[in-house]
Chains A and B, each alone.
Chain A
């Protein structure tokens, strides 16, 4: 199944939150939607799930405009908002089962137990971490094909984050990869091995959409004397140059000619992200 976002724009008054963005998501893959605060990630995820409406453009599910309940039931968004109101976790699980027959309520209860989430607790009373755990469990047990996670690990400690990543991958395998997970997070290094493709948004526009492996293969850190770096990188796109004393180091994308006077190293996804989304200043 394929979800296509085509030329979507969104204005909030005079603010352009999304500017003509297009991208595709397919089942069988895990994606990351990355961007700085206010880049437009949540706006896009809310538009995909019709919680808000785009100013222009359209979203298609297997070529059909995303409108019917049937189509919308295939998409699930886990976000900061709690739409359950002041009810208990156990009641939320029961109620969800009424609306979504294929929702795995048994698994939701068993996961609650393994995360030590007290199901008799009222949802608004949960701590930030446990509120995230509750929403994650609901998302992972939903029967939707496209599951979007907006900041899924907010407030989770390192142990719970690790459990979540493992759980996500084991659900992905259990469902024979007939699902698509889209994760939006600021903890880029932690998810970089988990995801296959990354989409980076900056100020409402897409700056990168590609396979993580390819992105990292083409990105390099080059250090040495400034003139040597410039010579070696004249065919590459230089994202940034920092100079300390007589030595400079640059993050570049593209072909670097090793002239023997420079040191070339690989770059991780987080470094690449920072360089691609920097606004200047520091």
Chain B
């Protein structure tokens, strides 16, 4: 994972997305501990306040929770929450730009559907 300081996405959101991705992929399972703020800060060379902000974003979304004095743990059912969120974002992230580009190229609706079906058939 590379954190890009000049990306459109703020660093703390990139941190949250990265942890989320690893929970979704099953690297961090329900009720297991995720790396500490310090580990992430030192490992990725990012200010601990930024890392903490990213973690708080995940706490707000019930993806991780804090065990006092121990650290951050993955919430039960976190994967499902992440899946739901991604499903909602799928349209905006993939379908909308696909159609926008297709319209610029003057594709008809039929052309678009044909191309998708062709890819699906592979």
Interface residues of A (CB under 8 A from B): 29-30, 162, 165-166, 169-170, 172-173, 177, 189, 192-196, 213, 216-217, 265-269, 271
Q: How far is the CB of B3 from chain A (nearest CB, A)?
A: 6
B48 / chain A contacts, CB cutoff of 8 Å = 169, 172-173, 177
Shortest 3 CB-CB distances between A and B: which pairs? Answer: A268-B6, A173-B38, A165-B45
Is B49 part of the contact surface with A, judged by Cβ < 8 Å?
Answer: yes
Instruction: Assess A189 versus B5: contact at CB under 8 Å? Given A173-B38, A213-B12, A217-B10.
Output: yes
Number of A-B contacts (CB under 8 A): 57
Q: Which of the residues A30, A162, A217 comes within 8 Å of B47, measured between beta carbons?
A: A30
Q: Which of the residues A193, A196, A265 comes within 8 Å of B45, measured between beta carbons?
A: A193
Instruction: Assess A265 versus B8: contact at CB under 8 Å? Given A165-B45, A169-B41, A169-B45.
Output: yes
Cα of A165 to Cα of B41 in the assembled complex, Å: 10
Q: Are B6 and A267 in contact (CB under 8 A)?
A: yes
Q: How far is the CB of B63 from chain A (nearest CB, A)?
A: 21
**Size of B's binding interface in residues, CB under 8 A:** 20
**Which residues of chain B in 43-77 are interfacial with respect to chain A, using CB atoms and an 8 Å cutoff?**
43-50
Which partner residue on chain B sits nearest A269 by CB separation? Answer: B5
B50 / chain A contacts, CB cutoff of 8 Å = 193, 196, 213
Is B42 part of the contact surface with A, judged by Cβ < 8 Å?
Answer: yes
Interface residues of chain B: helix, strand, loop or mixed (majority) = helix
Cα of A189 to Cα of B5 in the assembled complex, Å: 7
Q: Are A266 and B45 in contact (CB under 8 A)?
A: no
Q: How far is the CB of A270 from chain B (nearest CB, A)?
A: 8
Cα of A138 to Cα of B3 in the assembled complex, Å: 30
Which partner residue on chain B sits nearest A172 by CB separation? Answer: B48
Q: Which of the residues B37, B45, B47, B49 comes within 8 Å of A166, measured between beta carbons?
A: B45
User: Can you show 20 pairs from A to B with CB atoms below 8 A apart?
Assistant: A162-B45, A166-B42, A169-B38, A169-B41, A169-B42, A169-B46, A173-B38, A177-B48, A193-B5, A193-B11, A193-B44, A193-B50, A194-B47, A195-B47, A213-B12, A217-B10, A265-B8, A266-B7, A268-B5, A269-B5
New A-B contacts (15) at CB < 8 Å, excluding given A177-B48, A269-B5: A30-B47, A165-B45, A170-B38, A170-B42, A173-B38, A173-B42, A189-B5, A193-B3, A193-B46, A193-B50, A194-B45, A194-B47, A213-B50, A265-B8, A268-B5
Which partner residue on chain B sits nearest A166 by CB separation? Answer: B42
